[in-house]
Each structure stands twice: as C-alpha cells, then as structure tokens.
Amino acid sequence: PAGEDRLLFLSQGGSFKLPTPPQMSNHGNYIVSLGNVCRWLGEQAEALGVEIYPGFAAAEVLYHEDGTVKGVATGDLGIGKDGQPGHNFQPGMELHARQTIFAEGCRGSLTKELFGKFDLRDGVDPQTYGIGIKELWEIDPAKHQPGLIVHTVGWPLASDTYGGSFLYHLENNLVAVGFVVGLDYKNPWLSPYEEFQRYKTHPSIRGFFEGGRRISYGARALSEGGWQSVPRLHFPGGVLVGDTAGFLNVPKIKGTHMAMKSGLVAAEAVFEHLGREGAGPEAVDYGAKIKASWLWDELHQVRNIRPAFKWGLWGGLAYGAIDTYVFKGKAPWTMHHHDDHSQLGDKASHPKIDYPKPDGVLTFDRLSSVFLSATNHEENQQCHLRLKDESVPIGINYARFGAPETRYCPAGVYEILGEDEGKPRLQINGQNCLHCKTCDIKDPTQNIHWTVPEGGGGPNYPNM
Ligand code: SF4
C-alpha cells in the first residue's frame, strides 16, 4: 500500500519539502510492478478464452478495398539484413476483425499511420511527450520504508526544462526510481539519461541507494499533451485506446487508470456497435462515451497544468497551484502545445552540459544499463530504425544540432563515428533499442521512423 507522499524541491546541494498537490496524493493506492500486473491480467484474459500471441507484434495495418481497416498483420520472420527472405522465413499472420482496437502504448507506430490516413489529429493540438527512464534497485533493508513515495523537481534540470523524478519503495527491499524529462526541451546538449544518473547522486537521494544493487533498467516515452491533444478516437474499422490515444494525467503522472477505463469504454461501445443492425464501419459512439466518462472530466480539469511550464519551473508550479486551488480546473481558457521536435534549438545557441563520468556504484554507463534491460533482437534482420533521408544525420542533425540522437536515446543506439578523421557518420546499433520511441518523437526533422522489429525483439523487463 502507498504510504507517505513526499514532494521535494532539489537545489544543487540541498532540498526542501513542497506541499503535495491533491493529484499527487496516493493515499489508498498500491505500488505495483506494471509488468507483473500485465502478466497477471494476461492470465485472466486467457482463462476467459482470449487468445494472446506474445512475441508477435502487430507490424502492419490491413485495409479493405474501400479503405476501411480490415485488421493487422504480424511481422514476417526470417527476413535477413539484405531485406531478402532467409531459410527460416515465415510470413506474418493476418488477423481480421470487424473492429480492431489499437492499444499500442505511447506513440504507436501503427497509430501514427492511422492518424495520417484518417486525419485523426485535425483540429487538435500536437501531442507532446516526456521520456521516462527507470531503474529497479534492491536496497539496504535498514533504509527501506515500504510505501514511501518521493517525487522531486528542480536539480539537476535547468529551470526551463520540464521534468522531475519518482521513487517508490515496493516490497522486498525493492525501490523503483525514475526520471522524466519533457521532450519539448530546447538544449540539444541535454541528455535525459545523464540527468537521471546525476539526480541519484544528490545528497537527499543518494543515501537510499548506497549499499544497494541495481537490478533492472528501462525507458519509455509517455504522452503528456492531455485533453487538448486527444485525437478523434474512432475511424472506419477501429478505435484507439490507452496511451496511443494520449490518455495520461500529467500532474498525477499516471495513465494506467485511464488506459483501463478507455479499454472498458471501447469494449462497451464496440460491443453495442456490432450488435446494432445496419451499423456502419465506424463505432461512432465510442468518442461520445469517452466524453461522458470520468476520464474526460479528469483530463479536462488538469489540461492547463503541463502547458503552464512554458513559463519555467516556478511559473509552472505557481500557475498549477492557482489552477488547482483557485480555478479548480475550470479556468475559462485552454493553453496549447507545440510539436516537441520543433522546439530543439541550435547547438551554438545553448550551453554544453558537462556530465560527470559514471562511478559504477550509483551511476552507470548506457551499455551496462541496456544489459540489465535484457534487450534482445534477432541479429540477422534489417534495422527497425529507418531513416527517410540518409544525408540528414550528418547534414542537419550533426551540423546544426550536434547529433542530439546520441544524447536523447537512453540506450546508446545512435553513435557518431569517424569524427577524428573528419568524416563523421552515424552508426545505428538497433539491437540495443529499448522501444522507448524517443527518436521517432524528438528527431528535429522527423527523419527517424521507428518500425516494429522482428518477432518478440525488444526489452524484457522482469518486475518493472
Ligand atoms: S533507438 Fe529510439 S526507440 Fe530505441 S531506445 Fe533509442 S530513442 Fe528509444
């Protein structure tokens, strides 16, 4: 069970307690491993007769001749690096349905295609994202306080960068600790990974981890745009649920409850739709049902809090307090978002950040972190990170932004080689990819396209 909620402001060497806003109160909640909850939910679904195909990601949307969605196809297996089928080739499997429910999580790659195909984002704000990086630690039992929850804002981030940390004491001396950085950050020299590592060395934080052992690592983008960024939720042949639709309450830092609720509402809407005589291909009631649910009210109430951080940390906190306590979420205006990738500034107009070297005790390099994520991809396959234009990484990203992909990727997938010889080139170590989707979001010219790798490739998070 969740216990004490603590919100701290960190300066470089000190800290002080801030009042915990009502959205961040976790009283009555439970601290769980979402990975384990999903495994448990999977068993419940299977017991009800649902077939689950772990290891077969949906890689392609299938359409009928009239353009309505027919279903999805899983990826082909055994396509070699050269793009040709090998001896172990197995074509993907087609799954057809009258209604397909897309639940891909934040920045779903098929959802991205559906947005374009059906103009689902017309008239709404761009989605804005954060990257969350997380570790699981087994700490000294003497320091473990089951149920303790600590959030921080401030150091090591500059005050114009949105973000902060979370730290949850679970059972069995386990602590889940993580850091979120808003992907609308401007300084191309910033590295969310290094910010997280630095944060663990703060005098108010490091004590939890000294004498402990890091046991797991992971990263994932999250949707932060909220109410004003929710797209049209239905289209001919399917609907969107969960974080692929952008259902996350930012001040609460939680989307799981909304993912569940949207799944329930979608199930109801689709079920009723399929039973209705003469119903067309689009479950049009789903959007109205979402708007009539508590999910929509909850998102509406907090819609101005994330965009207010355009005024920096103190401006954002001050506005958040006024919005929550004075306006009670009912201010007669709605603030707007920009695309994250367009916010990145030139390398010359921002200061370089000098990150300390990892000490191997509290702070670590990226490759040893990736090792703990148990990430695995079939070696002989085409890289699933596709570049639309091969000249952009050096011609634009390197020249103008100082190769930001080498810093925002939490897995060290992107490396610039050949700098010493004056011939820089980008190397993509796709086998290390944690599927966080940050490159697909933050690449300044949107030149990187994340696609589904073969089979069950990717991180394998136990207890995360
Ligand atoms: S390559 Fe992209 S999706 Fe993969 S870990 Fe790096 S930033 Fe995330």
- Of 105-109, 266-270, 396-400, 458-462, where does mean pLDDT reach its minimum? 458-462
Report whether pLDDT(67) > 90: yes
**Chain mean position to CA 434:** 11
Side by side, the strands of the sheet bearing 69-74 are 58-63, 69-74, 94-96
Distance 164 CA to ligand 1 centre (A): 20
Report whether pLDDT(110) > 90: yes
pLDDT, tens digit (0-9, with 9 covering 90-100), for 143-201: 999 999 999 999 999 999 999 999 999 999 999 999 999 999 999 999 999 999 999 99
User: Residues 393-416: what's their mean pLDDT?
Assistant: 98
pLDDT value at residue 284: 96
pLDDT, tens digit (0-9, with 9 covering 90-100), for 337-359: 999 999 999 999 999 999 999 99
Strands 149-154 and 5-10: parallel
Distance 436 CA to ligand 1 centre (A): 5
Cα→Cα distances 183→87, 274, 344, 389, 444, Å: 42, 39, 9, 23, 11
- Percent of the chain whose predicted confidence (pLDDT) is above 70: 100
- Confidence category of residue 83, pLDDT binned at 50, 70, 90: confident
Q: What residue owns the CA closest to ligand 1's atom 2?
A: 439
pLDDT value at residue 261: 98
CATH node for 37-126+227-303: 3.50.50.60
- Confidence category of residue 428, pLDDT binned at 50, 70, 90: very high
pLDDT value at residue 56: 87
pLDDT value at residue 82: 87
User: Distance (Å, rounded) from C-alpha 257 to C-alpha 259?
Assistant: 6
Contacts of 434 (CB under 8 A, 6+ apart): 218, 219, 220, 370, 373, 375, 410, 411, 458, 459
User: Hey, how many other C-beta atoms are within 10 angstroms of the C-beta on 317?
Assistant: 18
Distance 432 CA to ligand 1 centre (A): 8
pLDDT value at residue 456: 78
What's the distance, Cα to Cα, between the start and end of the chain in Å? 17
Average pLDDT score over the chain:
96
User: Hey, how many other C-beta atoms are within 10 angstroms of the C-beta on 92?
Assistant: 18
Distance 219 CA to ligand 1 centre (A): 9
Report whether pLDDT(461) > 90: no
Report whether pLDDT(88) > 90: no
Helix, strand or coil, per DSSP, at residue 228 = helix
pLDDT value at residue 64: 98
411 Cβ closer than 6 Å to some ligand 1 atom:
yes
Report whether pLDDT(463) > 90: no
413 Cβ closer than 6 Å to some ligand 1 atom:
yes
pLDDT, tens digit (0-9, with 9 covering 90-100), for 129-147: 999 999 999 999 999 999 9
- Confidence category of residue 215, pLDDT binned at 50, 70, 90: very high
User: Residues 397-408: what's their mean pLDDT?
Assistant: 98
Q: What residue owns the CA closest to ligand 1's atom 3?
A: 437
pLDDT, tens digit (0-9, with 9 covering 90-100), for 10-41: 999 999 999 999 889 999 999 999 989 999 99
Q: What residue owns the CA closest to ligand 1's atom 4?
A: 433
Q: Tell which one of 220, 385, 386, 452 to mutate to probe ligand 1, the residue whose CB is within 8 A of the most ligand atoms.
A: 385
436 Cβ closer than 6 Å to some ligand 1 atom:
yes
Cα→Cα distances 35→32, 38, 460, 462, 464, Å: 9, 5, 9, 7, 6
Q: What DSSP assignment string belongs to 123-190? A: TSPPP-EEEEEEEEEE--GGG--TT-EEEEEETTS-TTS-EEEEEEE-STTEEEEEEEEETT---TT-
Q: What residue owns the CA closest to ligand 1's atom 7?
A: 409
